[in-house]
Structure 1
Amino acid sequence: MSRVLEGQDWLTADATRAVMGALAAAGGADCARFVGGCVRNAVLGAPIDDVDIATVLTPEAVVRALKAAGLKSVPTGMEHGTVTAISERQPFEITTLRRDVSTDGRRATVAFTDDWAEDAARRDFRLNALYADSDGVILDPTGAGYDDALAGRIVFVGEPEQRIEEDYLRILRFYRFFAWYGRGAPDAAAVAACAALVEGVERLSAERVSKEVLKLLAAPDPRLAVRLMQDAGVLGRILPPSNSVTLFEAMVGVSPDPVLRLSALLPADVETVRASANRLRLSNAQKDRLIAAARAPLDPDMNDAQARAVIWREGRQAFEDRVRRAWAAGGEAARMQAFLALAADWTPPKLPVGGRDLARMGLKPGPETGRVLKAFEDGWIADDFPDHGHEARLKALIASPA
């Protein structure tokens, strides 16, 4: 009995039809199939982010086929068989069927093939080795991918050790896919293989590791996956030691933000956090958030004026991150929610005076200008940002030099 994807707008969209039609015109009706995440998520009724296509056509033939159909092509990875088609401003990644010739755990040398089973055999998990033709008819070369998807089983294609040794990133991908799609107990063979080959994680580039970890932490509930990573020794290979994952598990209930969840897996030590962010080559914005969240714990007993002072000095994002970290650490929910509401509703004002105001009052530019402005700022913040009395305050500060 054939299984068919139904009710999938992406499958019947004009942009998709144009790409599949271009490939079919060059290689026949069965020369291209949808593959991987779009098929898996369609089976599960989950959102479709990207539409990937596998084909027996060579990359050069794909480029020619797209050109003949008036579609733009981008040679995103020709040596690995990948061309990106642009149809109605939407990208479609098209990859020629492949088999591995050699691998070193990070990169593979591939040869193109026209054997769908051979292509499926080199993929990571059985639920990712699902294909569908242009009419949505599902093809399952491993014979178990469809059932795995429905059952929430994350099982390697073939021998787990072999798949991992081809690319050690698959260790992290196992935990990521388990976090997003897994249900019940994890596959024992996969768990054992990840633990046995854990040292391979250290051979991966920082960018690949951080990207995979943040995707994992963005899952609705990644707690069990992170526990499995800790038990297998994987967590300790990519992050500095922490006392436990207790704060992280509490943070999952407080915030869906993967950066904030990552902060909860790091020690509350600014220099350790800074070193970890640098090692993972996170963006400056992500690093700044992690460092800010690791500073001294937020005072849960501060009043609203003190809270506004923190927001003004550190920024709304840093304040909210510290509030959520304090909440996860056991802060009173009602008070933490009140802080978050305050941050959302209050717009920090700009400093109402500057050097020109002091110049008009006869103060020459120099160190004294900086002292007066700093003293004004401190007092203005301490008084909860009044919108009047600025000139009198400046005159008093000028009249009382340090």
Structure 2
Amino acid sequence: MTDRVAVPPAGWDADALDRLGQAIGFGEGRSRYIGGWVRDTLARVAPGDLDIGTQLLPQEVKERADAAGLTVWSSPSGLAHGTVGVVVGGKPVEVTTLRRDVSTDGRRATVAFTEDWRDDAARRDFTINALSADPVSGAVFDYFGGREDLAAGVVRFIGDPLQRIAEDHLRILRFFRFHARFGRGAPEAAAYDACAARANDLMALSRERIADELLKLLGCTQPSGAFDAMLARGILKPVLPEIDQGGLARLAAMIGAEESAGVAGDTMRRLIALLPQHAATAEVIAARLKLSNAQRKRIATALTAPAAPPQELAYRIGVEGAVDRLLLDGDPSSAAAIAAWSPPRLPISGGALVARGLGAGPIVARALKLLEEQWVAEGFPPQPRVDQLADEVAARLRDQ
């Protein structure tokens, strides 16, 4: 694997990056690109955020970026942890002072600042995440064999896996997410054994962090293998005992249905497939994971949707809900058609019914409801047929 990356990063404002670089010492070796951008660039996958590590203290970063005329944001907690946000060409970049861990408790770490690049890399979780790159030459710095692991499709903890998980329990789920994204074949044995041995540590995490990590995993192109590996060793059992092989089979089917329908993979839709298909049980899990009200409503809608033709279904529960339900039912062709469909609005008002001889009040609402039901049942016919239906409904109600 190459020992250099192309700089400046494609898709970023080179002039704005140069202004930042001059301010925080790119040419002096004081600052480097770190972490995910370096890893993704080497792996030839679309990079995400651009992060920078620096030997400068956070207040100095802030002052230098301000002096360079760049927009800076920071919070007291961010500064305390060494991170300053800078807007570069309209995009956010986080500049973080190098750190070493002083103490950890499995959920958070107390850190101290350092100027040692290796110390900072050593506190990261996996070898492939500990890479950094010189922003001028593109030279890659790799202290723990991350390039070789990336090339081999191996996700490996830095140091003792049991200790690294003890430092941050979320690393169990992160291991499987990164294996789903970059791993090939079976999970690395020492890491897999450590995740199984420390699975109960997941119970100490906030359910919001667990949910966030699971949704990130579900957003991977092919997450099924990672879930299969977790189920095989009971790793999810302490926090999600309801997930089983049936859910894994539905997840795999959902991913295949999304591909057949030509719709983008959706993390919530995949979660719905993974969950037990009983609305009450799914709601218990959603509440445990502290999902948002909108997410919980989406789960309930998909699992309780009535049987109906695709367009009627989309009209009643919304296009998103209909696509969820149709893909769960293994009907990708209908889902593809519905995804591009905009439900119409009933093209008549209460005033048009009053003009047909109905008195204002509850009878008009009843007439609109009857008219809408017939209009939907007939497949949303155009205005001439709506006018006929309105005449029929008005006449029927006038005669009662």
Q: State the TM-score, normalizing by the size of structure 2.
A: 0.89
Aligned residues: 384
Matches of 1:241 and 1:289, distance apart in 2: 19
1:115-140, Cα deviation, whole Å (9 max, x unpaired): 11111111010110001112211111
Asked whether the 8 Å contact 1:239–1:266 carries over to 2, the reply is no
3-state SS of paired residue (2:312): helix
Tell me, yes or no, if structure 1 residue 278 matches structure 2 residue 277. no
Asked whether the 8 Å contact 1:372–1:397 carries over to 2, the reply is no
The one-letter amino acid of 2:99's match is R
Matches of 2:165 and 2:307, distance apart in 1: 42
The one-letter amino acid of 1:325's match is L
Asked whether the 8 Å contact 2:13–2:88 carries over to 1, the reply is no
Matches of 1:371 and 1:206, distance apart in 2: 46
Residue number in structure 2 paired with 1:58: 57
After superposition, the Cα gap between the structure-2 partners of 1:364 and 1:12, relative to the gap in structure 1 and judged at 3 Å, is closer
Shift of 1:369: 3.1
Asked whether the 8 Å contact 2:305–2:317 carries over to 1, the reply is no
Shift of 1:169: 1.1
Asked whether the 8 Å contact 1:198–1:232 carries over to 2, the reply is no
The one-letter amino acid of 2:197's match is A
Matches of 1:370 and 1:24, distance apart in 2: 70
After superposition, the Cα gap between the structure-2 partners of 1:286 and 1:234, relative to the gap in structure 1 and judged at 3 Å, is same
Alignment of structure 1 residues 65-84 onto 2, 5 Å: 65-76=64-75, 77-84=78-85
Alignment of structure 1 residues 3-402 onto 2, 5 Å: 3-6=3-6, 8-9=9-10, 13-24=14-25, 29-76=28-75, 77-134=78-135, 135-142=137-144, 144-239=145-240, 241-244=242-245, 245-255=248-258, 256-295=265-304, 298=307, 306-327=309-330, 336-344=331-339, 346-387=341-382, 388=385, 389-401=388-400
1:233-290, Cα deviation, whole Å (9 max, x unpaired): 2333443514521111222222222211111111111122223223323344433322
3-state SS of paired residue (1:239): coil
After superposition, the Cα gap between the structure-2 partners of 1:345 and 1:147, relative to the gap in structure 1 and judged at 3 Å, is closer
Shift of 1:394: 2.7
Relative to structure 2, which stretch is displaced further, 68-77 or 47-56?
A: 68-77
After superposition, the Cα gap between the structure-2 partners of 1:345 and 1:36, relative to the gap in structure 1 and judged at 3 Å, is closer
Shift of 1:298: 4.9
3-state SS of paired residue (2:74): strand
Asked whether the 8 Å contact 1:171–1:194 carries over to 2, the reply is yes
Asked whether the 8 Å contact 1:293–1:318 carries over to 2, the reply is yes
Shift of 1:337: 4.0
The one-letter amino acid of 2:374's match is G
3-state SS of paired residue (2:347): coil
Residue number in structure 2 paired with 1:332: none
Shift of 1:84: 0.8
Q: Mind listing any 5+ residue stretches in structure 1 that lack a counterpart?
A: 300-305, 328-335
After superposition, the Cα gap between the structure-2 partners of 1:60 and 1:204, relative to the gap in structure 1 and judged at 3 Å, is same
Matches of 2:243 and 2:84, distance apart in 1: 43
3-state SS of paired residue (2:329): helix
Relative to structure 2, which stretch is displaced further, 280-289 or 169-178?
A: 280-289
Structure 1 moving runs of 4+ over 6 Å: none
Matches of 2:361 and 2:232, distance apart in 1: 59
CA RMSD of aligned residues (A): 2.3
Shift of 1:74: 1.1
After superposition, the Cα gap between the structure-2 partners of 1:232 and 1:2, relative to the gap in structure 1 and judged at 3 Å, is closer
Relative to structure 2, which stretch is displaced further, 212-221 or 67-76?
A: 67-76
After superposition, the Cα gap between the structure-2 partners of 1:396 and 1:89, relative to the gap in structure 1 and judged at 3 Å, is same
Matches of 2:202 and 2:22, distance apart in 1: 41
3-state SS of paired residue (1:57): coil
Matches of 1:341 and 1:67, distance apart in 2: 49
After superposition, the Cα gap between the structure-2 partners of 1:12 and 1:391, relative to the gap in structure 1 and judged at 3 Å, is closer
Shift of 1:232: 3.0
Asked whether the 8 Å contact 1:372–1:398 carries over to 2, the reply is yes
The one-letter amino acid of 1:324's match is L
Shift of 1:29: 0.6
After superposition, the Cα gap between the structure-2 partners of 1:248 and 1:133, relative to the gap in structure 1 and judged at 3 Å, is same
Shift of 1:400: 5.0
After superposition, the Cα gap between the structure-2 partners of 1:292 and 1:137, relative to the gap in structure 1 and judged at 3 Å, is same
Shift of 1:10: 5.5
Matches of 1:133 and 1:13, distance apart in 2: 15
Matches of 1:11 and 1:211, distance apart in 2: 27
Asked whether the 8 Å contact 1:84–1:92 carries over to 2, the reply is yes
Q: Mind listing any 5+ residue stretches in structure 2 that lack a counterpart?
A: 259-264
Asked whether the 8 Å contact 2:358–2:394 carries over to 1, the reply is no
Matches of 2:244 and 2:159, distance apart in 1: 36
Matches of 1:288 and 1:2, distance apart in 2: 47
Asked whether the 8 Å contact 1:83–1:95 carries over to 2, the reply is yes
After superposition, the Cα gap between the structure-2 partners of 1:57 and 1:287, relative to the gap in structure 1 and judged at 3 Å, is same
The one-letter amino acid of 2:277's match is A
